Homo-oligomer: A and B are copies of this chain.
Amino acid sequence: MPSDKKPHTVAVIGSGNWGSTIAKILAENTASHPELFTPKVQMWVFEEQIQIPSDSPHYKRYGDKSQNLTEVINEVHENIKYLPGIKLPENVVANPDLGDAVKDATILVFNLPHQFIEKTLSQMQGKCLPYARAISCVKGVDVSDGTVTLFSELIMEKLGIYCGSLSGANIAPEVAAEKFSETTIGYDAPPMDLKAEDGSPSENRIKVDEQRQAKTKPTSVKLKRVPKELVTVDGELLRTLFGRPYFHVNVLQDVAGVALSGALKNVVALASGFVAGKEWGENGKAAVIRVGILEMVKFGRTWFPRSVDEKTFTEESAGIADLVASCSAGRNFRCAKHAVEKGVSVDEIEQTEMNGQKLQGTSTARSVHEFLEKHGKVDDFPLFSAVYGILEGSTSVDSLPKLLDKRFS
């Protein structure tokens, strides 16, 4: 890289276990690449008062007095509440002030639960650099009124900055413990960024809604070019920023495929849990995973025909690898399995055993079903439909094999 380019400043929005893990990775890389990045990584933390558990090694320091989470993180370099036991690099700076955390950032990394994203974006409007670039690690897509909206799109629309997506087989505590895994980044760099040297226009409109076939009015966003004085934001830069010896990164252009897989896999994970609850063994689980990946491919091909590459589903960490991991572990799988074993509905398990938290798979299965109904495509997705039917109590798990092969129905 030429040394006359200015380095990027990175901020993370969100500080749950996955947000803190990503902040750790980013800070490890910014520290070792000062020619590309300012070492300090701001991490916006929704401030809360915490008490240090008495079995924490930090209890001696703080005692029973409640503390600001941000102060504790900055003092002991550990997110004691959401990622206990993992040392964060000292160049991660917890910041309770959203505007202050993002004001200098040229690369923004969104990593917070999807229910908080809209409100957070509203608070950020006008506070981030107009030429910043973003990566969304937010899982799920928003499906409503026959429209699929990716969170990367929502970020683009609300903030007017380009946004890619990151997803993969990344159970956070395992990544935080530096156990081997892989991830996928979808980032289709705006051409004007890549050609900044040749004097491409400093701003341009890009369409963000190729997939919203049900919309009457196309949406586009006016983007500002990343100033040519800054290091170019391309796949190579993102691999350097996110990749670690224990965390391998593939960068693709397929932003939509990466985000879609991260959402749809939860529906398949429920099906895998149902099959496991019936004790149908590894064959049955493998069959559900296989049919699931095909329906994910078909969903992408049908509604995102120009942008989705089906290899994202069949060959990438965001696709098949995350699906396999979610179908063997994870909350959707476990709750569905437990529901079948106990002979109750998944809703009941959610209510009685999840402390008021909601499963991502159940809401995705319901909104995907509503979406398919609106488009008259329910029959083309027998697994997704069966999962919906089982959740609603209108279909039995025993009928699943029959529903998946019309010859036997």
A residues whose Cβ falls under 8 Å from a Cβ of B = 169-171, 174-175, 179-182, 239, 243-246, 248, 275, 279-287, 289-291, 293-294, 297, 314-317, 320-322, 324-325, 328-330, 400-402, 404-405, 407-408
CB-defined contacts of A239 to chain B, threshold 8 Å = 407
User: Are B321 and A281 within 8 A (Cβ)?
Assistant: no
CB-defined contacts of A279 to chain B, threshold 8 Å = 179
CB-defined contacts of A244 to chain B, threshold 8 Å = 408
CB-defined contacts of A325 to chain B, threshold 8 Å = 282-283, 285-286
User: Are A321 and B289 within 8 A (Cβ)?
Assistant: yes
The residue that A321 contacts in the complex, of B246, B286, B401, B408, with Cβ under 8 A, is B286
Complex Cα distance A281/B330, Å?
12
Closest CB pairs A-B (n = 3): A181-B283, A169-B286, A286-B321
Complex Cα distance A285/B325, Å?
8
Q: How far is the CB of A323 from chain B (nearest CB, A)?
A: 8
CB-defined contacts of A174 to chain B, threshold 8 Å = 280-284
User: Are A317 and B287 within 8 A (Cβ)?
Assistant: yes
Q: Which residue of B lies closest to A289 (CB)?
A: B324
Contacts A180-B400, A407-B239 known; A283 to B169 CB distance under 8 Å?
A: yes
User: Are B287 and A315 within 8 A (Cβ)?
Assistant: no
User: Are A290 and B275 within 8 A (Cβ)?
Assistant: no
CB-defined contacts of A180 to chain B, threshold 8 Å = 275, 280, 283-284, 287, 400-401
Complex Cα distance A282/B330, Å?
10
List 12 additional contacts besides A181-B284, A285-B325, A314-B320; criterion CB under 8 Å.
A169-B290, A170-B283, A171-B283, A174-B284, A175-B283, A179-B280, A180-B283, A181-B283, A245-B401, A248-B405, A286-B325, A290-B316
State how many copies of this chain the complex holds. 2
A171, A175, A285, A400: most-surrounded residue (chain B CB, <10 A): A285
Q: How far is the CB of A223 from chain B (nearest CB, A)?
A: 30
The residue that A401 contacts in the complex, of B246, B282, B315, with Cβ under 8 A, is B246
Q: List 20 A-B contacts (CB under 8 A).
A: A171-B281, A179-B280, A179-B284, A180-B280, A182-B287, A182-B290, A245-B402, A248-B401, A248-B404, A282-B328, A282-B329, A286-B320, A286-B321, A286-B324, A286-B325, A290-B316, A290-B317, A290-B324, A293-B315, A314-B320
User: Are A315 and B290 within 8 A (Cβ)?
Assistant: yes
Q: Which residue of B lies closest to A174 (CB)?
A: B281
CB-defined contacts of A321 to chain B, threshold 8 Å = 286-287, 289-290
Q: How far is the CB of A310 from chain B (nearest CB, A)?
A: 9
Q: How far is the CB of A180 from chain B (nearest CB, A)?
A: 4
The residue that A245 contacts in the complex, of B170, B328, B408, with Cβ under 8 A, is B408
CB-defined contacts of A328 to chain B, threshold 8 Å = 282, 285, 328
Contacts A180-B400, A315-B294 known; A287 to B248 CB distance under 8 Å?
A: yes
Q: How far is the CB of A244 from chain B (nearest CB, A)?
A: 8
Q: How far is the CB of A79 from chain B (nearest CB, A)?
A: 20
Complex Cα distance A181/B324, Å?
17
CB-defined contacts of A169 to chain B, threshold 8 Å = 282-283, 286-287, 290
CB-defined contacts of A182 to chain B, threshold 8 Å = 283, 286-287, 290-291
Complex Cα distance A159/B376, Å?
52
CB-defined contacts of A407 to chain B, threshold 8 Å = 239, 243
Complex Cα distance A64/B173, Å?
57
Q: How far is the CB of A184 from chain B (nearest CB, A)?
A: 10
Complex Cα distance A287/B321, Å?
6
Q: How far is the CB of A49 from chain B (nearest CB, A)?
A: 32
A248, A280, A322, A324: most-surrounded residue (chain B CB, <10 A): A324
Q: Which residue of B lies closest to A320 (CB)?
A: B290
Q: Which residue of B lies closest to A330 (CB)?
A: B282
Q: Which residue of B lies closest to A245 (CB)?
A: B408
Q: Which residue of B lies closest to A275 (CB)?
A: B180
